[in-house]
Structure 1
């Protein structure tokens, strides 16, 4: 693949978590979260994007979200569970994405807010108007995802180098 071809990043926030008496990292999905994760997986499958790599936070709720969503996809991409995604800032998430091998075309990153929403905002220098408006109005609720594209190598990814192509969030 040539680095001149657009690359895609899907930023996927974990589904709704429960609040049992456990550490934040160990919080599981709530029943609503389990349902929304599967619906999000079907929407991701409908996008037709061929995911090459999944980068997933190590928290219980992100791992559960990904397990339910990936089950809906026609092809299971290689998954890397990355500790640095948990509680990461947009800059830290860019650093993780900068390490992506050049033979990878499409990455899905399963993470947390405020980092995921912040990253979508920081990266996008342009946007499909409807996607920007939906994200502005809805924020980045649990199980939402945004699809961004950019040209160049993963090492060249930095603020204001991507376009927000689409956005989806579950109904309230």
Structure 2
């Protein structure tokens, strides 16, 4: 079994002539990312590895999430997640280290939402529909694959274990 957590970066400042790569999170974004991090910890979903695109908003989202976890995990910058297509994001996931049973990708839309929807085959209908309708900032899809190797993940091969957003009542206020 392999578990993949796909997290869209949290709410960032509006791009107003500024370098997109350097856009920081707003305060709401920091709070939302922390709520997602607390959910992941509470649900026992802390991954073995976290990859983010290196953009300021994905790095800051990752930092806020990681701060909620008692266990430290390996974290890496994966530049390919910035402006990735769905196919490129899938290739990154399929190349994850085999020693990791679970991993989190912190990236950008449309690739994170597109990838989550493309990979998912089964799951709770209400969550599948919500995820297909909108993958908001700090949205998290938790996917499980019945495969031995990451390279064997494919379109429509995952079960959606959960899809949560910062407004989800399952997230603890904070």
TM-score by length of 2: 0.90
In the TM superposition, residue 132 of structure 1 has moved relative to its aligned partner by 1.1
> Which stretches in structure 2 are left out of the alignment for 5+ residues?
169-174
In the TM superposition, residue 101 of structure 1 has moved relative to its aligned partner by 1.6
**Pair 1:12-2:18 in alignment:** no
What is the rounded CA distance, in whole Å, between the counterparts of 1:101 and 1:68 in structure 2? 24
**Pair 1:24-2:20 in alignment:** yes
RMSD (Å) for aligned C-alpha atoms: 1.4
Number of matched pairs: 166
In the TM superposition, residue 21 of structure 1 has moved relative to its aligned partner by 4.1
- The residue that corresponds to 2:57 in the other structure is 61
1:122–1:159 contact (8 Å) kept in structure 2: yes
1:131–1:165 contact (8 Å) kept in structure 2: no
2:117–2:131 contact (8 Å) kept in structure 1: no
**Pair 1:127-2:118 in alignment:** no
What is the rounded CA distance, in whole Å, between the counterparts of 2:26 and 2:108 in structure 1? 15
- The residue that corresponds to 2:47 in the other structure is 51
- The residue that corresponds to 2:158 in the other structure is 162
Task: Write the mapping of 1:29-40 to structure 2, written as runs, cut at 5 A.
Answer: 29-40=25-36
TM-score by length of 1: 0.91
In the TM superposition, residue 129 of structure 1 has moved relative to its aligned partner by 2.1
